[in-house]
Structure 1
């Protein structure tokens, strides 16, 4: 049995409120084992013997759409994959200040090859400093105490995937909580 972390996009934002007990119920209804949630932003831990990750993500997305009434993109990672992101320290040398936040964008598809890194938004709201096959690493520059841009919108129209972001320090906490399971 593999332990997965499902990073869900658009949970408890934009008026789409879902209680965590309902989210666990939906995952359990899909026959997934040991279902747990972590904080209110759409992080679900579970175990399964299924090995086809693409089919598993599609099945979860279909179950969530049916149960919630709207699409919820799902990015699946193993605990080891998330730990590897944290251990790689993709933000080494970047100082966190009151105006700087470090974000991991979990991707459903690899970055498009035409995206040259590092890159930054025209307004300087964010810098995408690196990426691997499943994640992009973004330094957000707050303006007036707020994040005013979504770096996932930078991807060219040819990108067919989805992305969901988590702060880097939260990503580390998610990995640790999943490991405790």
Structure 2
């Protein structure tokens, strides 16, 4: 049995793709996931599964959400080691006086090639900054997430991937929950 963290993108945002967390939890239990635990309303769900493959777990969750709720919801599934790597490898945490309110992580559906940072064309989104580590993009927004072109749609278009972004506070809380 392996614990996975499913990061659902675009649910319960501005009245779109509304899914109550209790209903999501029940649906996931109904299809065989165990120890289902949700965190906040924006689609962070821990599940235990016999299936060790994150992509298979993500596909099953995405498929069941569509069947039950009629929403096409991108899902990125990660493990505890992915969250631990966020803390170890995030270059912006190593800066003096890092403003964690401006730090975000984009979790990507597949491992990125070494040239992916060039593909992002960061000059188009300056002064925002990014650093890539495997299937994560560490983001440091200059002003904030609400005032940038460098969002999940931009990343998906430039890299042809599925992405979902979490702020550093959420990443920290998810890591704490994984460690319990």
TM-based fold match above 0.5: yes
**Which stretch shows the higher mean deviation, 114-123 or 33-42?**
114-123
Partner Cα separation in structure 2 for residue 7 and residue 22 of structure 1: 16
What is the CA distance between 1:105 and its match in structure 2?
A: 0.2
For this pair of structures, how many residues does the alignment match?
A: 176
Structure 1 gaps, min length 5? none
C-alpha deviation, 1:75, in angstroms:
0.8
1:140-167 Cα deviation digits (max 9, x unpaired): 1226x94333433344747332100011
Aligned equivalent of 1:106? 107
Equivalent position of 1:30 in the other structure: 31
Summarize the Cα distance change of 1:146–1:54 in structure 2 as closer, same or farther, 3 Å threshold.
closer
Q: CA deviation at 1:14?
A: 3.5
Aligned counterpart, 2:179: 179
Contact 1:125/1:149 (<8 A) preserved: no
Shift of 1:96: 1.1
Conserved? CA contact 2:54–2:77, under 8 Å: yes
SS in 1 for 2:76: strand
**1:114 Cα offset (Å):** 4.0
Using structure 2 for the length normalisation, give the TM-score.
Answer: 0.84
Distance (whole Å) between structure 1 residues aligned to residue 90 and residue 116 of structure 2 = 21
For structure 2, list consecutive stretches of 5 or more residues without a partner in the other structure. none
Residue 99 of structure 2 aligns with which residue? 96
Q: CA deviation at 1:101?
A: 0.8
**Per-residue CA shift, 1:51-91, capped at 9, x if unaligned?**
23222211111001112211111111112321221233431
Counterpart Cα distance in 1 of 2:12 and 2:43: 8
Q: Distance in 2 between matches of 1:179 and 1:156?
A: 30
**TM-score of the two chains, using structure 1 as the length reference:** 0.84
Q: Hey, which of these two has a bigger chunk of helix by percent?
A: 2
Question: Partner of 1:104: helix, strand, or coil?
Answer: strand
Q: Which residue matches 1:4?
A: 4
